[in-house]
Amino acid sequence: MKLARIQAPQEPASGRRPVRERSGTGPYSMSVFIIFFWCLSATAGEHSTAITTSSDQSELLCHDWGMSVDAVRVINGEAGWLFCPLFSHSLYNYSSAHSSGLSLFWYHLPPEQDLERPIKYSQRVSKDRESLWFQPANENDTGQYICTLRNRTSCTKIAMSLGVVSSGTDCPHLVAMVPLTVPIPVQEGKTLSCPGLEHAAKMADSAPSVTWYHNCTKYPFWDHHREVKGDKLFVHQMGLMYEGLYYCRVSYTRKSLPLKFTRSLNVTAVSPSFTSKVPVILIPNKERKFHVRLGREAKLVCRVTFPFLENSPQAIWWTVDGKTLDSLTHTRFSETNRRVEEVTYGDQTVVRELLLTELQREDLMTEFNCSVKNNKGFSTKRAQLQEEAYSPSVELGCGLGGTLLLMLVLFLVYHVFWLELLLLYRSWFGTDERYTDEKEFDVYISYVRDGEEEQFAVSTLRHVLENHLGYSVCIFDRDSLPGGTITDETLSFVGRSRRLLVVLSPGFASRGTQALLELKAGLDHMALGGHLRVILVQYRPLKGQAWVGELRRARGVLAVLRWKGDKSKELTSRFWKRLRLELPLQRRKDSELGTVRTYQSQSSTSSQTGLLSPGGLAVHKAQYSGGKL
């Protein structure tokens, strides 16, 4: 707040100049001077002291006490008053100050202004000893008020704030008043008096009347434990349901003018007075130890319950070897501000922590005590420190998290590239079956004759298996000799092959007599453990009736590879990768490089050929037709 220097009012110079001009004319001029001075003194009233102040006093500087923390709020249209804070806390006594020649002056500083101005007293705004009255107050009275106590040699001033809130008669407007907290012990009684009633009685023409409200409910209340007698409210037996805001509205008359003002009280239920009021230290205690680590920061907690005790100071502090922290020379120890965690029936649970930076081994033998005190007693307890064993929790957590992350990544990689990984594993650790059996062919291709399946089997499968993957392929129509029995020849070829590749199609059951024989022979060899595996390739989708008995049994135990047209023509497609997994692994010596390579590794070179063109299929078909037996 910016306060301008307060100067005493000066006497007008124009009022003395004519008298001084006639001062040498004789007794007549002296009589005129006496009469003029008497009239001027009678009209000045109580401002005579300020008017006759010399020019030396106008230069006197005031000792400024600043702004008072006690702000006053008044409802618009109701009476209110300001009490000069200079006469509180035994700083000054109004009667003694007035007898010693000190005078009290009031000044008003409106909002958003920098210069205060003297109060113009009237019937509405008046001064009564150390109080300034507004009967009633209006919105223009809002602002700061400076009360100044001065004489010729001394000057002291202090400011206070006045707020005029919105007027109204219903309860929500009354909530704007700042309540006075009144604690009442549970199951006990107390008498409530309306604040400021004694001041209004001094200004009233007759005894004021008081009306009481509880949470906007006008007296009489619904219970018999609260009773109004005269201007006071008696609470005979306090309970939780009686907590809340109470309003008292005082009505009186002053000089036949009806006036009123409202005050609010916040009534709270507190613990009974017959309970112990000595503070209790909850932590530290004998059962709990503070686990600390050397070289780290340690935090010692002191949790205390202060029972409700009206007008009692509460103190909580830490000591180190019987010394307070203020008396210690080093700064490794520090206290946090007290913190209220819980309030129950006025009983407060307060926490204050002691922080130890870079805990040392000698600190384990140091005595750390938490002490508390109020008007009813004193208590202290020692905090027990215990060195905590090192636990690599961070390292374990990071290791476990990294392991889980790695497992997740590996799972995703395997889920996406499981075919490639299996092929890579086979190329490194697989066994060439030619060294363990005496089979003549790697693959025997079975298919339905005279259809699209025949062209697919002869032109596509045979071409890729023989020319790109390096397998020895057996096709009955091409490799069988004339004159033999079909059944015997078929069983012989199937028995001399390591894999039976069966191309499935919708006409497999109706037109596939030879194919069914080959399938049955392959399944029999598998059942007898003849080192033969059957591979099913579904060239076109099969309906329910196309799955004959042998196919249903084979489908239940064998994997079915599906040809998806253009998507499967690429040698890097999933069809060919899955087919390579089902086919036997072969190795061959490379005399120039001196290394062992698998035929599967040739797929990377073969994949550069791109799609299997329809023209290529036609050429292979022509070659097959020319060599057909």
> Would you please indicate which residues are annotated as catalytic (active-site) residues?
518
Instruction: Return all residues near 153 (Cβ < 8 A) that are at least 6 apart.
Output: 60
Rounded to whole angstroms, what are the CA distances from 511 to 63, 109, 450, 454?
121, 113, 9, 12
Residue 273, burial from CB neighbour count under 10 angstroms (0-12, 13-18, 19+) = middle
- Tokens for 108? 């008003």
Question: Where are the alpha helices (H) located in 448-585, listed in sequence order?
Answer: 452-455, 462-463, 476-479, 486-495, 508-511, 513-527, 549-557, 574-582
Residues forming a β-bridge with 181: 266
Identify the H or E element spanning 200.
helix 197-203
| Sign of the four-CA dihedral 573, 578, 583, 588 | positive
Which residue matches tokens 């490194």?
428
Rounded to whole angstroms, what are the CA distances from 74 to 78, 176, 264?
7, 9, 11
Q: What angle do CA 43, 46, 51 make, to 5 degrees?
A: 75
Helix axes 549-557, 513-527, angle to 10 degrees: 40
* Residue 212 three-state SS: strand
557 HSE (CA, 13 A, CB side): 9
- Tokens for 12? 């007008």
Distance, CA of 211 to CA of 230 (rounded, Å): 10
Kindly tell me the number of DSSP H helices and DSSP E strands found in the chain: 18, 35
- Tokens for 605? 């070179």
Distance, CA of 101 to CA of 66 (rounded, Å): 23
φ and ψ at residue 343, rounded to 5 degrees: -130, 120
Please, what is the end-to-end C-alpha distance for the chain in angstroms? 118
Q: Greatest CA separation found in the chain?
A: 179
Give the other-Cβ count within 10 Å of 230's Cβ.
9
Distance, CA of 247 to CA of 215 (rounded, Å): 8
Give the other-Cβ count within 10 Å of 292's Cβ.
19
Residue 136, preceding peptide bond in cis (omega within 30° of 0): yes
